[in-house]
């Protein structure tokens, strides 16, 4: 399923394209996904992103450059900041929504990209607070792998319509969301003592 934000350009070419190796890597880190989300709302400088994400400017710049190299982030015209200094702001290109390639040939999610969107969403929701929630659905379904794929395609097709026209609604509140389907654990088995540990940054 697509994992990212509304495009900043009208999507007159709505066809998905296969993610390159660099694009797949760029979308596999929660901090980079948060940068894309923030820069889809307004153009931000590296310093603004570092301050907003409580990150070191050098660390943020590494991620920004990787996203720019992958075509997921672009530099907008240089502007004069409040102090009079020249600034280099960045904005999401919106391309990440239209990329595919999360799964292997059998429909299994790539492990390197599995948790990054969920971790980014958890951080965003925690910052926004419970009062930010507008709607949610919690459900249990019994589906075959083919039915999961069909449901995913139908949901993404509907979201595509909203994503492609989002530039027409920029005067309205910005909402974020995520849809995750996971196989439930055996209800009779004991849960692990601790959750899975995060892997090294990529």
Tens of pLDDT, residue by residue over 174-191, are: 999 999 999 999 989 887
Can you give the pTM of this predicted structure?
A: 0.82
Regarding predicted confidence, which is higher, 35 or 4? 35
- Whether residue 63 contacts residue 30, with contact meaning beta carbons closer than 8 Å, is answered with no
- Report if residue 181 sits inside a domain: no
Cα–Cα distance, 183 to 62 (Å, whole number): 35
Domain count, the chain: 1
Distant-in-sequence, close-in-space partners of 135: CB < 8 Å, separation ≥ 6? none
Q: What are the CA-CA distances from residue 178 to residues 3, 51, 116, 121 (Å)?
A: 8, 25, 12, 7
- Whether residue 174 contacts residue 92, with contact meaning beta carbons closer than 8 Å, is answered with no
Residue whose entry in the numeric block shows the structure tokens 């949610």 = 136
Cα–Cα distance, 33 to 22 (Å, whole number): 14
Instruction: Indicate whether 30 pLDDT > 70.
Output: yes
Structural domain boundaries, residue 62 = 17-169
Local confidence band at 6 (pLDDT 50, 70, 90 cut-offs): very low
Regarding predicted confidence, which is higher, 101 or 39? 39
* Residue 122: both structure tokens together: 């958890």
- Whether residue 45 contacts residue 58, with contact meaning beta carbons closer than 8 Å, is answered with no
Local confidence band at 80 (pLDDT 50, 70, 90 cut-offs): confident
CATH of residue 116's domain is 1.10.10.10
pLDDT of residue 65: 97
């Amino acid at each position: 399923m697509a994992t990212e934000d509304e495009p900043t350009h009208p999507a007159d070419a709505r066809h998905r394209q296969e993610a390159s190796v660099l694009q797949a890597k760029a979308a596999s880190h929660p901090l980079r996904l948060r940068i894309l989300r923030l820069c889809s709302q307004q153009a931000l400088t590296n310093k603004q992103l570092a301050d907003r994400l409580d990150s070191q400017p050098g660390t943020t710049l590494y991620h920004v450059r990787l996203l720019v190299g992958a075509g997921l982030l672009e530099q907008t015209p240089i502007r004069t900041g409040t102090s009079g200094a020249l600034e280099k702001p960045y904005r999401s290109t919106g391309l990440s929504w239209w990329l595919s390639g999360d799964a292997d040939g059998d429909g299994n999610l790539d492990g390197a990209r599995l948790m990054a969107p969920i971790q980014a969403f958890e951080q965003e929701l925690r910052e926004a607070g419970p009062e930010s929630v507008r709607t949610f659905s919690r459900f249990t379904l019994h589906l075959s792998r083919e039915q999961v794929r069909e449901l995913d395609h139908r949901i993404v097709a509907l979201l595509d319509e909203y994503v492609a026209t989002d530039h027409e609604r920029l005067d309205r509140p910005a909402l974020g969301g995520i849809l995750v389907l996971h196989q439930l654990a055996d209800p009779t088995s004991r849960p692990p003592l601790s959750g899975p540990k995060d892997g090294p940054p990529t």
